[in-house]
Structure 1
Amino acid sequence: MAKTAVEPIKAGLDLGNGYVKANLNGRVRVFPSIAVKQFNPDAPAVTADGIGSVVNDVINQMDLSFISPLIKSTERRLFGERALKTGKSLEEFDVYARTGKSEVDLSGVLALATIAADRLQDHYEKTGALPDGGVMKVNVDLATALPIQEHKYHMKRYKDAYLNSGQAHIVTFHNFENPVRVEIIFDYVIVINEGESAQYGLMFAKQEMLDMILKEALKSYPNGELDGITGKDLVGAPNTLGIDIGEGTIDWAVFTNRKFNPDASSTLKQGYGIVLESTLSKLIEQGYPYRSRKELSEFLHSKPSALGKMKWNHIKNINESEEDRFAASISSEISKVFDKVAGFIEVIFVFGGGATPLEWSLFGKLQERIAEFGENNLIPIVYLDSAFSRFLNVQGLYQVALRLRPNRKDAAVAAAK
C-alpha cells in the first residue's frame, strides 16, 4: 500500500471495557466506553453561536454516524456525559459475553469517534472555525490492543478492518447546521496484547514515575527486603508477570528475557465489571433504580453528601462483599499461571483500572499463593494505584505508535527492493 505524504497523527488507543484511554499526538483523553443509539434523532442542530461550546466539550457532546467495515449498524450515536443523561439503554461492552472486543461494533465506534473528535477539536483550536466544505481528511498511525486470548485468534482480521485496503472510514458529526465529515485513513496499524502494552509503558517510564513505582513497592516491603533496589531495577527486570485487571478481562502478561511470552501468557474472561454487575443485580432486587454498571461505578466514585451517606455506605458494603469474593477467584487463578512461570519470574506487577478497588482484599491473597511456591524466594509484588496504572496500556501503545513508521533510511531501502 502506498503511504501518504500527509503528516499522520500518532494514536495509542486503549479501548477498555470501562473507559477509553487515548493518546493522540501527546494529548491524553479519557471517557466512558459507552454510546447510545439514536433510532429517531430529533436533537436540533447547534447554531453558529454554539459551535465553540460543543467543540470545546466534543467528547461529551458529539452526535455521530459511521461508514466503516468496523461497524455494522448505521444508527447515529451519542457519547460521554450526553449519552449517560439520555436515560436510554447504553451500548457498552458485555463483560459476560463470549464475543470479544474485535467482534462488536462498539470497538470501532469508540476508536473512530475518538480520532474524529480529536481532529475536529484540534482544527477548531487552530482556526476558530469548522473545516472548509465540512470535510476533514486524517491519516493515522495506530497502535491498539486486544486481550491476550482474543489477540491469538482475531488480531489479523481486526487489523485488516482498520487498514480497510487503504480506503477511508467516514465519521459524520450531526451536531451542526451543516454536517461535518471526517475521512480517516489508517496508514500503519499494529494490534498488540493487553498487558504487553502496559509493560512497554513501564519500560518507557520517566524518572517521576519510576520513583512512584518504587514508593508503591516499598509500602508493601517496609522491612528492608528491597534495600538497594531502584524503580528502574523493577521495571527493567527481564522476567516479569503483569496482572492487568480491567473491567472485562484480566490479562496475565509474561515477559521472558524482556520479550513478551505468548505461550505463558493468558486471559481470564472476567474483570472488575463482574463485581459491579453482581452488585447491580443485588441492588435491583432491593429496588434501587440503577440501569448500568457505569452508572453504579460513577456513584461509588462520587463523594456522598451528608444526606446520601447512609445509602452510599450500604451500596459500598455490598460492593466490597463482591470484591472479596472476586479477589478469592483471582488468587486461585494465579496458582495456575504461577505453576508455569514461578521458576524464572523476578517481579510481579498488578495494575489496571480494577487494581485499586481490589487491593484491600487481593494483595494479601496473592502473597499467600506465591509463598506456596517457595517462601525463601522473594518475588516482589508491585501493586500500582489505578490512578496512574490505568494509563500504562495507552502510554505503552503510544510509544509503539511513535515507532511504527519506518525512518527515511528504512523507507529508502524498502523502496529500492
Structure 2
Amino acid sequence: MAKTTVEPIKAGIDLGNGYVKQNINGRVRVHPSVAVKQFNPDTPPVSADAIGSVIEDIFNQMDLSFLSPLVKSTERRLFGERALKSGMSLEEFDVFSRVGKSEVDLSGVLALGTIAADRLQNHYEKTGSLPEDGVLKVNVDLATALPIEEHKQHMERFRDLFLNNGNAHIVTFHNFKQQIRLEITFDYAIVINEGESAQYGLMFAKEEMLDMILKEAVKRFPNGELDGITGKDLVGAPNTLGIDIGEGTIDWAVFTNRKFNSDASSTFRQGYGAVLEATLHKLQAEGYPYRSRKELSEFLHTKPSVFTKNKWEHVKNINQKEEDRFSSSISTEVSKVFDKVAGFIEVIFVFGGGATPLEWSLFGKLQARISEFGKDNMIPIVYLDSAFSRFLNVQGLYQVALRLRPNRKEASVPVAK
C-alpha cells in the first residue's frame, strides 16, 4: 500500500530550555521542553473511541521512538504533561552544563517529535482517521536557532544532522494499536542565532504589536522625549541590542546597520533556569517534593487555590530572593556588553521567557549603565512582557523558513552568514 504523502511544510522551531515554541505553516503552539525515557514500556494502546481525544492533545500524550542521527538513544519517550506527571526522571536541558543544545539528544527528540505530532494531528483533523497504511511522509523547510556562542562553533554540524544527506528521519508513534511512522525529510534547513531570530520577529511585527512596543518605550520617558517616534521607528532602528533572557542562557544580540553583528554579540551561559534551580535546591532542603525546575515553574505560573495559597507565597518569596541575586550576578556582563556597543546602539529590546520576572531587578541596572555615557545618550529600553516576547524567536524563525526556497517572491531575510 502506498505511503501517505503530506504537503511540504514550513517550520520555525525554537528549542527553548523551558519550552518548545513552534510555528508550523502559521500555527503557533508551545509545550514543555521535557521528555522521559521508558526503559520498560508496558502502556496499553488507547482504545478506538479515545483516539480523537489523544490526537487533540497529542503534544502532551505522545509516546515516540526515533531512528535519526539527531537521537543516539533508542528508548521510547513520553512528552509534555504526560512526562511531567509520569513520576519518572525527566530528561530536560541542563542549564549548568557546558554541553550545548546541538550535542544532546533532547534537541533532536523535541524538534522531530514536534513536527511528527503536528503532521499526525493535521492528518487526523483533515481525514478523521489515522493513516490507513500507518505511514506519513513529510518534507520540511526548517529554521531553528542556537545560543550565539554555540552557534559560532556548532551551527554547520547541527544543520547537517537535520539535512542527513537527504535521508529521512523516522519517528514512530506507539500510542495506538497500529504503530504510526513519520518519515521526515528536511529539504532545507538553517540554524541562526537566538536573539537574532527575535529581531526578525520584531521586524515583521503587526500594528497591535507595534503599538505595544511604543507604549513600553514611552512609559520609560514620560516627559515627551519620544514624541513623534512610532513603534515602526523603534523596530526599524538600524543599530539595536536585543537581550534575550532564556532559561539556559542570556543572548546579547547586536544589529549594526540592520544586520546581525556576530563580532559584538555574545552569550552569557546562565539564564532564568539558574534562578529556578537555586529555588528548587532550597525548597528540596526544606522537604518540598518538587523534582525538577519545570515542575517548580509550572507551580509558580499557576494561580494558587485557597488550599495552596500559603505554599505558593512561600515558594514565590524564595524565588524572588534568587531573582535578585541572579540580577546582581549578571551586572558585570551588562557592563561588558555596554562597553562594546553603547557608542552606537539606538534602541535596546529586552525579551524572552525570563524578561518579566527579572524586570524589577534588572531594569535599574540597565538604566544606570546607560546614564554613565552622558545625559544626552538617550537610548529607549523596550522591555517586552514574557508572555508575549517568548514567541519573538519562533516568529522570526518562521519568517526565515518561509524564505529558504530559491526563487521566492519575498525579499530575503538578512540572516547572518
**Mapped contact 2:6–2:137 kept (Cα < 8 A):** no
Q: Deviations over 1:216-236 (max 9, x none)?
A: 112222221211111001000
Give the match's secondary structure for 1:162: helix
Once the two structures are overlaid, the 10-residue window that deviates more, 40-49 or 23-32, is 40-49
Amino acid at match of 1:234: L
Q: Deviations over 1:368-401 (max 9, x none)?
A: 1221222321011110001110000000000000
**Mapped contact 1:331–1:369 kept (Cα < 8 A):** no
Q: Is 1:290 aligned to residue 290 of structure 2?
A: yes
Matches within 5 A, 1:150-299: 150-299=150-299
Matches of 1:408 and 1:377, distance apart in 2: 41
Give the match's secondary structure for 1:181: strand
TM-score, normalising length: structure 1 = 0.96
Q: Which residue of 2 aligns with 1:26?
A: 26
Q: Is 1:365 aligned to residue 397 of structure 2?
A: no
* Runs of 5+ unmatched residues, structure 2: 411-417
Identity %: 82
Following superposition, the deviation at residue 409 of structure 1 comes to 9.1
**Mapped contact 1:249–1:271 kept (Cα < 8 A):** yes
Amino acid at match of 1:266: S
Which structure 1 residue ranges, 4+ long, deviate > 3 Å from structure 2?
none
Matches within 5 A, 1:345-360: 345-360=345-360
Matches of 1:96 and 1:218, distance apart in 2: 37
TM-score, normalising length: structure 2 = 0.96
Following superposition, the deviation at residue 74 of structure 1 comes to 0.3
Q: Deviations over 1:312-366 (max 9, x none)?
A: 1111111001101111122221110111111100000000000001111111121
Following superposition, the deviation at residue 308 of structure 1 comes to 1.8
**Mapped contact 1:170–1:181 kept (Cα < 8 A):** yes
Q: Is 1:337 aligned to residue 346 of structure 2?
A: no
Matches of 1:284 and 1:323, distance apart in 2: 18
Q: Deviations over 1:119-143 (max 9, x none)?
A: 0000000001111210000000000
Matches of 2:197 and 2:190, distance apart in 1: 11
Q: Deviations over 1:263-320 (max 9, x none)?
A: 0000000000000000001111111111000011011111112232221111111100
Matches of 1:307 and 1:338, distance apart in 2: 46
Q: Which residue of 2 aligns with 1:42?
A: 42
Q: Is 1:122 aligned to residue 85 of structure 2?
A: no
Following superposition, the deviation at residue 7 of structure 1 comes to 4.0
Q: Which residue of 1 aligns with 2:415?
A: none
Q: Which residue of 1 aligns with 2:413?
A: none
* Runs of 5+ unmatched residues, structure 1: 411-417
Matches of 1:110 and 1:343, distance apart in 2: 40
Give the match's secondary structure for 1:133: coil
Q: Which residue of 2 aligns with 1:305?
A: 305
Give the match's secondary structure for 2:329: helix
**Mapped contact 2:370–2:377 kept (Cα < 8 A):** no
**Mapped contact 1:246–1:353 kept (Cα < 8 A):** yes
**Mapped contact 1:141–1:186 kept (Cα < 8 A):** yes
**Mapped contact 2:6–2:136 kept (Cα < 8 A):** no
Q: Deviations over 1:25-63 (max 9, x none)?
A: 001110000001000000001122111111111001100
Q: Which residue of 2 aligns with 1:380?
A: 380
Amino acid at match of 1:175: N
Q: Which residue of 2 aligns with 1:106?
A: 106
Superposed CA RMSD in Å reads: 1.3
Once the two structures are overlaid, the 10-residue window that deviates more, 220-229 or 320-329, is 220-229
Q: Which residue of 2 aligns with 1:78?
A: 78
Give the match's secondary structure for 2:219: helix
**Mapped contact 2:141–2:186 kept (Cα < 8 A):** yes
**Mapped contact 1:37–1:77 kept (Cα < 8 A):** yes
Give the match's secondary structure for 1:94: coil
Q: Which residue of 2 aligns with 1:319?
A: 319
Give the match's secondary structure for 1:188: strand
Following superposition, the deviation at residue 160 of structure 1 comes to 0.3
Matches of 1:256 and 1:16, distance apart in 2: 26
Amino acid at match of 1:232: K
Following superposition, the deviation at residue 158 of structure 1 comes to 0.2
Matches of 2:229 and 2:174, distance apart in 1: 55
Distance 1:6 1:77, change over 3 A: closer
Matches of 1:402 and 1:334, distance apart in 2: 34
